[in-house]
Structure formats: C-alpha cells, structure tokens
Chains A and B, each alone.
Chain A
Amino acid sequence: MIAIEQLRYVRLGTNDPVAAADFAKRILGLEQIDVDDDQVLFRSDYRDFTLAFVKDTSRAQSVGFELRDVETLERAADALGRHGYDTSPGSTEAVARRKVKCLLAFKDESGVLIELVVRPLHSGWRYFPARDAGVTGLEAVALRSPCIARSEALWTTVLDGKVSDWIGDATFIRFDSAHHRLALHPAPTGGVLAVEFGVEGIDQLMQSSYFLQENQVRIVHGPGRRPTSGQMFLTFAGPDGVLFSYVAEGQPIVEEQHRPRQFRRQPRSFCAWGSRSEIPEFKCDDSADAIQGKRS
C-alpha cells in the first residue's frame, strides 16, 4: 500500500482567474502569494500554497497528495498501473508550476486529476491574509464520484486511506488522525464538490456566517455540526460551481478505538443542528425525510 503523507493542495481550472482570486482573497480570506498569466496561488497555512486557480477553459481540477519520497512515488506508479490506472509523470514545467520535486498524475473515478507529489514547497513565513477569517489551513476536500465502490477501493487498498464513516454510500476517508481528509459523495458526474478550510473556532465560523450573508455569498449548508466528525461547518458557493467550507473543532480519530460507522442517509446525518442543505449531493430521499419529520 502506498502511504499518503498529507492532503496538499487543490488546483481549480477557471475561465476567470481574476474573479476567482478576488473570491479567495476577499471572501475566503486566503493570502495571495503568486500570480501570473496562467495561475494564482493562495496560502492558508505554513505550506507554500494550498489552493490554486488556473486559467483553463475546460475547468480541469486536480487534487495534490504528498508522498514521502521518490521511491514511494515509483511504487505508486507500479501499483496504480497494476490496478488499471493510467499514470503520467509530470513534465518539468508542471513540476515547476506546482513547486514540487516530483509529480505523478492519474485520473480517478471522479474524473478529477489526482497528483501525487514529492517534496512540495514549505514556507517559513507565516500565513498573513487580508481578511481575518481565522483560517488554520486546508483541511479536507470532497469529491463527487459516479463509481463510489471503485473510488473507495482505490483510496483504501491501493493507497493507504482508511474509512472513518459512511453516510449512505458517501465515504469519509482519513490519512491521519483527522476524521477525514477526503470525502467521496455519490453523484452522476465527477468533480470537486467542496474544498474545506479549518478555522480557529466557533467565533470565526459564526463571524464568517454573518460576513458571507452581508457580502451576498450563497450559503448552501450550515452553520451546522457533522454528527460524523463532530466538526462545525459552514458551506458556501465559490467560483465555477465549487463549494467551499469552513470547519472547526471536531474529534480526532483514536486509531485503536475507532471503527467505521454507517450513518443513515438522512438530513440529520449531515447536520446535528438541523440545518437544511441545498447541496444536491446531500439530498436524501423523501422517506428518510418523512421519518425525520415524524421524529422531531
């Protein structure tokens, strides 16, 4: 099995990098560190960048995961090849744009390009955003997957992710003590559903909730609390149909004590406070809804 060191970055293709960058700075509260004609990079913590908006009319999306060293990367190429995934090493230019030493890319079932990288750049300088959103770092990414079983197998048998919980067939996968770094949601088409940034606490989350309302950003879910991870969350619409979330608190997984739990696919499994979601991927069928109505 290939060990994933950490979730590292999300690169989102956009027609309008200027508008996307404005969103990332002014609304999301990230620090813009690099900008050129093709891409804008944003810092959210001590890593050089965790979010990139890339000028791309096809709106291609990729998610970067860090591997320990080049040997692991080579083993990953082998293992993925054996399981039928088409991998391609990154060109010199691609490697430079991502500020990494080595790169191996492949498409998973979600249609999102997964980039395995070695020695991504770290920044010694503290993250200092324009807006005080209290962001602590890139926390997780949620993907849509048209073939959830195969997605789960990729992340838990080829790569060394572990399932933390399921809501219906939606799968939450961890690589470290955080409840999940990757969430897979069943959907007819693939893609990045949401990018999640941690914030310091409830004060920052709620301050952002009012800030977003005032700035007419569409809040699609929350503020709420996830019964699965225990995280508070606030999810809102970003550029190009990608959602962004702030998350806070949450219980870390104690490896020896945790067993993945199956939650029923119903609104209460997505939010313990009873907030309603506008996210199509979280829509529950009417019968589950009716049961909930009866209970509350």
Chain B
Amino acid sequence: MIKLGNICYVRLGTRDLESATRFATDILGLELSEWSKRARHFKSDMREHTLCYFDGDPGIQIAGFEVASKDDLTSAAGELERLGHHVHIGTREEADARMVREFLGFNDPTGNPIELAWRPAIGGNRYHGTRDAGITGFSHVGLCSTDVVRDEAFWTQVCNTRVSDRIGDAALLRIDEVHHSIALFPTSRAGIQHINHQVESGDDIMRSLHLLHERRINITFGPGRHPSSSAKFLYFEGPDRMVFEYSSGVRLIADELLYRERQFLFDPKGFCQWGAKPQIKEFE
C-alpha cells in the first residue's frame, strides 16, 4: 500500500508566466515565494510553496503528495513498477525545483502525472498574501478520471485514500481527517480538474465573490455550499482555463469506524445545497 501524506503542491505549465503570476498574486491572493525566469513558486501557508507555474505546455498539470519516509518512497516505487506504472526517479535538479529532498513521478491509470515527495520544504516565514483573501492553505485537487471505478480502486486499494462520499460516480477521497484531499471526476481527458484553497470564513468567500466580479473573472460555480463536505465554496477560472476554488468549513471525519460514505445525486442539488448551478463541464 502506498502511504500518501498531505497533498503538497501543484505544478502547472503555462505559456504566459507573467499573466499566470499576476493571477496567482493579485486575484487568487497567493504570495510569490520564489521567482525565476522559467518558474514561479507561490506560498499559501507555512509550506515553502504549494503552487508552481513553469514555462511549458499548459497540458502538463502535476499533483504532488508528501510521503513520510525514504522507505515509503522506495516501497511505493516498487509497488508501482510491480503494477506496471513507469516510475521516474527525480534528479537532484528536479527535486530542487520542487523544493523537496527526493521525489518520484508516475501516471495514475487515467494518465494524470502524480508525484510523491519526501521532505517538502516548510518556510520559516508565514504566508502573507498579496491581497487579503483570507487563505489558510492549499487543500485539495480535483483529478480528471476516464474510468472512475478503475481510478477509485487505484486510489483506495493501491494508495491509502478512503471514500468520504460519492456524487454520482465522482468519488471524494480522504487521506487524513479532512473530508477530501482528492476528488475524482468522470471526464474524457487527463489533468487537474480544479485546485482548492481553504479560506478562513464565509465572509472571505463573499468578499472574493464581489472582488472577482469587479475584476471580470469568470465565476463558474457559486457561491454555494456542498452538501457532502458542508463547505461553502466559490469556483472561478484562472489562466489556461484552470478552475480554482475557495472553500471554507470543510467537514472533518474524526471517527473512521463510525463514518459511512454517502451517495449524492449527480445533479446541481448534489453539488450545492443553496441552489447554485455549476458551469463547469465535469459538474454538469
């Protein structure tokens, strides 16, 4: 079993680093933690970086998960190879670019590039955003899935995630007590479906709503509240049409023994209990 720790970063290729940087700082509210000609690293919490835009194909969208030990990394490599996944062991230079000690990369069954990272860097300075978006940290990703049954089996049987709820066949998967760190959405492509940052309160979500409106950002879903995780949310579009989400008040599942996953309708009502209608392909 591959023991995933926290989700620790997302890496996104872009052809326009400057616009992406402006979006990440001025709109999303992240803090630029490292600037280089070919990559920008952004901070959202105590971690040294949780989002990186690099000069490259916007189709390259990588999600990184922390592993606790070198042994976990080695045994994960063995397990993945045994299952027929090609495993790339990161070079020193690649590890430096990710601010981690060591990492490996592989593709999940849909073809989403996933990385397992050992010792990702924590910053000495706390996050201080470019604008007061109230962000408390990078929290989860939605992943595209071309076969949700197969992919759910991969993430829950090969890896250590548990199903918290399902919306239709879309599985919300937890790694720790947070309701979900990965959400699998049925679609026809590979890639990251959305990137979530937690904010302090519903007030932060509503303040961002009006700010995004004024900045002419395409708001694709919300404000609303998920009946599954009970989080208040707002989805909007960033560079290269990547969907970003703010949410607040995600449910914590403290009692593993008592908790049972629930089946929600794949319908706007299954996604929002306030009545918002999604304009996101994978939610429609």
Contacts and interface: CB of A to CB of B under 8 A. Distances in A.
User: How many B residues touch the partner, as a band?
Assistant: 10 to 19
A186 interface: no
A207 interface: yes
Contact of A210 (B203, B206, B276): B276
Nearest to B276: A210
A206 B203 contact: no
Nearest to A202: B202
Contacts of A275: 206, 210
B137 interface: no
Interface string A179-203: 0000000000000000000000011
B223 to A, nearest CB: 7
B207 A206 contact: no
A17 interface: no
Contact of B225 (A206, A211, A272): A206
B210 A203 contact: no
Contacts of A285: none
Contact of B207 (A202, A203, A209, A272): A272
Contacts of B29: none
A207 to B, nearest CB: 5
Contacts, number: 39
A209 B274 contact: yes
B224 interface: yes
A295 to B, nearest CB: 11
A206 B211 contact: no
A274 B273 CA distance: 24
Interface in A31-87: none
B210 A210 contact: no
A274 B224 contact: no
Nearest to A274: B210
Contacts of B276: 210
Contacts of B209: 273
Contacts of A223: 206, 223
Interface in A194-236: 202-203, 206-207, 209-211, 214, 223-225
Nearest to B207: A273
B68 to A, nearest CB: 38
Contacts of A202: 202, 232
Given A272-B203, A273-B203, A206 B274 contact: yes
Interface of B: 202-203, 206-207, 209-211, 214, 223-225, 232, 273-276
15 contacts: A202-B202, A203-B225, A203-B273, A206-B274, A207-B275, A210-B276, A211-B275, A224-B206, A273-B203, A273-B207, A273-B209, A274-B207, A274-B211, A274-B214, A276-B210
The 4 closest A-B pairs by CB, nearest first: A210-B275, A274-B210, A206-B274, A273-B206
